[in-house]
Structure 1
Amino acid sequence: MTKQDGISGLRVLVVEDDYWVAATLVEIISEAGAEIVGPVDCVRDALAALDSSPHVASLDVQLGSETSFPIADELDRRGVPFIFATGAASMIPAAHASRPTFHKPASRELLIGALSGALNPA
């Protein structure tokens, strides 16, 4: 990946409860030139992290016994684009069904493409 990937210089909130997946997402996003907010692994910490004004977010759907939908709702309210990074796309409610989604594990190109697409919807 180069720094011309469309997210260079942006703050990306990473919400993921699996340590190894979070580490991989952080590596990929950092290599694309973005600043990482987090990673965080629960709704409470993610909502608190919104004070850092991320430009875009990557949300795991299932966070232990919680879902990331309260975070998605707040991001939507604030006008912050986001993607779902999940293995559980069937859980996404109709209110967020049109959001970009990529299935884990995913390639660097798919992840950066999904984040860029969230920022610049067609």
Structure 2
Amino acid sequence: MTSKPSLAGRQILLVEDEFMIAMDIEAELVEAGAQVVCAGRLEEAEKLAQTVSCHAAILDLDLHGKTSFPVADRLEERGIPFLFHTGHGVRENLKTRYPHTLVCNKPCDISDLVRSLGELVPAS
């Protein structure tokens, strides 16, 4: 069994439009020691991607029929690592557009998702 990453002192932006999924991911992140800032709509997520001080992000690709690409673009401009947690994106297409990101296809084990995020978060 792989141990959970320590995300103590790390702030994570979570962009997810499905409330129950967001709650489950947030709980797992908090258990790993992270502070979580959540957004469920594209407009809110875009604003946070420009302003919030975070160490990494988890992005759902489809937010109520809109892609989270503008959020990913802002995070990339700011040098903030992120991963996509999506049931809609094609891994190869996402990796072509964002070569330095990870893609976790839904459904996936939330512990695995958090471990993947831990690979992206800079060491303290």
What is the TM-score of this pair, normalised by structure 1?
0.85
Amino acid in the other structure paired with 1:109: S
- Residue 9 of structure 1 is matched in structure 2 by 9
- Is the contact made by 1:15 and 1:59 (CA closer than 8 Å) also made in structure 2? yes
The whole-number CA distance in structure 2 between the counterparts of 1:4 and 1:21 is 19
Q: Deviations over 1:30-86 (max 9, x none)?
A: 111100011x11221012223221110000011112101110011000000000011
Amino acid in the other structure paired with 1:7: L
Amino acid in the other structure paired with 1:96: Y
Amino acid in the other structure paired with 2:19: Y
Q: For residue 113 of structure 1, give the secondary structure of its aligned residue in structure 2.
A: helix
The alignment's C-alpha RMSD in Å is: 2.0
Residues 105 and 53 (structure 1 numbering): CA distance in 2 closer, same or farther, change over 3 Å?
Answer: same
For structure 1, the 5+ residue unaligned runs are none
- Residue 35 of structure 1 is matched in structure 2 by 35
Name the count of aligned residue pairs.
117
For structure 2, the 5+ residue unaligned runs are none
What is the TM-score of this pair, normalised by structure 2?
0.84
- Is the contact made by 2:13 and 2:37 (CA closer than 8 Å) also made in structure 1? yes
